[in-house]
Structure 1
Amino acid sequence: MFAAAAACVLWLGAVAEGEAQQQRVLSLNSLARQAAIQLDHGMAERVSQLTDVVASGDLRSLHHSPSIRELLERVKGSWAPYAWIGVTDAAGRVVAASGGLLEANDVSARPWFQHGCGGLFVGDVHEAALLASRLRGPEGEPLRFVDIALPLLDADGGLLGVLGAHIFWDWAKQVEQSVLSSSQEASGIELLIISVDDQVLLGPPGLQGTLLEPSLTAKVTHATQPSGSVREWPDGRFYLSTAVVAPGEGNFHGVGWTVVARQPLAHTTQNTRDVVLIALAAGACLFLLIGGVTWLLLRRARSSRGVGCAPLEVQQSQAASSRLSRDTPASVAWPPRRQQDPRQRGSH
């Protein structure tokens, strides 16, 4: 029984260790999924807003630059991460823009204009080109944008121009901060955003802008059970990590971003060790309880046998006496009575 209890304690510890590791994976996966949802939702709202602006028809009169600029200023002011919004003509010349920036400049060579002529375009993160010297980005970091562009069409479907918007990529840092609590950051949890070609778009300073091995961003999309892995990262440390693809939302079909949540293995091991110690302590208490109950039962059993022996011996003695009395002949009266002489009976 004691061997079984000891085996139970060891089994309980192993189960607790596996369960603790899986709980860490689930927690990391939940954080990555929250960040992916917020990224998709934010971009989907911007696409919807700019689509409504184009559909309103207020931008078709390109020669009314002041009124268009006023409209663009209102749109830009509705969301702080907007860096710049402008309208071009069909040749790629900026006719109106927020803050008047880049007006009269030729942007026909820019990817957002070229792709925007053909339909809705959402471009991946890139460093600023024409606006690099005109706008200020986060201190110590290059100015980076995400682009959205839509064509402006006349009543016959002909191209009038393109509406383009640049969004500060620093907005993604705000998403990260809204997802991670201070306690989670203190425990070493980090969120990384990876591009479709495995470049780190958002992450620790030593990783940002670098290319990762695909194995480090193994993607979890429709898995019924989130999975994680322990791997060595470029900084030489081992991390428990999980990854979730941001698939898009609404008319925003995504640009292939993957959100990775990771935590140094040293932190996860400590958390797991705490759970295992609790499980082992509970198992040890169970072991002692079983041992104590077993000892009490054995002691009671011995006492019961000791008390039951005396009545049994008495019964055996009585049975032996009964058998002896049956086997012994009846006793003769002593002293024997004298027989009376018949003559004496007659004299009376």
Structure 2
Amino acid sequence: MKYSLLDVAWVGADETPADALRGAVPLAQAAERSGYQRVWYAEHHNMPQIASAATSVLIAHVAAHTERIRVGAGGVMLPNHAPLVIAEQFGTLAALHPGRIDLGLGRAAGSDRHTARALRLTAAAAESFPQDVLALQGFLRGEPTVPGVRAVPGHGTDVALYILGSSLFGARLAATLGVPYAFAAHFAPLALDAAAETYRSAYRPSPGHPEPYLIVTANLIAADSEEQARHQQRASTRYRARTMLPRGRHLTDAEVNAVLDSPEGQHLKAMNVHTAVGRPSQVTAQLAALAARTEADELMLAPAANERADRIRSVELVPAPAPGRAARSGTDSVRHNRPPHEPGRLSR
């Protein structure tokens, strides 16, 4: 089992986007020390709490401050961009950091309708996603679908492509194209099992990927004690209610409670379904159970604590499992090459 990191350069309370962007580096460096496979950054727009909108720029910054870990997009929302431009951007990254760049692709715009208008999106932009993926793949492989047009840089780099999704559409497309698939279970948990089954059962082998490769994301809150971890989880849920819901920043504590008890708040709580929370031994057992249930090849962890120091600590406490032996954090350990007899449950 491989672990990876998903980050959005979260802008904490009393922080600026500049603080969040600078803070992305120590979190990525912690993941590198902990043996994580890759760190990905997600494209979102018009969200004051998320600073990773210019994904390729942030990737370049983090890659320059790390040594071995793969760095990429999780993902680029392709309807927002021309495939040639993305091929040039990630071709540039691949030239600067050979063998370390990933390109995850999503179909959603990552924005509301007003922001979509500012991005010059049309209503049909998402409908051409499969064709745009093929065009992008052609530019990167050096087999452009547009005669006489080359991506420079990018031509022939064959940057690793991944399809991202939170529904069955992405699972089917990744299976048809024969490329790895990453499912966003950290915020869209309900379709996880169906998407995993669809992807594996419909998979068509490709020259670069003879077997399916499934990445499953999960929220991560690990601390030195279970009490600390549960406190961080409660604080995280309440903070997200304040920052992600209308009028949230101006709500009193009693009003936040009412919001969390409402249907909208229940949806926010449901995003915690796939959250590994607790001491290191509890977290690693929960992750092992998730991997066993979904037959995931890799788990991508999204640290969910409010404070950056706590997110870094989570990654330090949950290193990637070493092949064939127990992975240890302090006095807690669990063997990862098979699920434990009592694997525990992800938080609900």
Q: TM-score, normalised by structure 2?
A: 0.21
| Higher relative contact order, structure no. (Cα contacts within 8 Å, ≥ 6 residues apart) | 1
Q: TM-score, normalised by structure 1?
A: 0.21
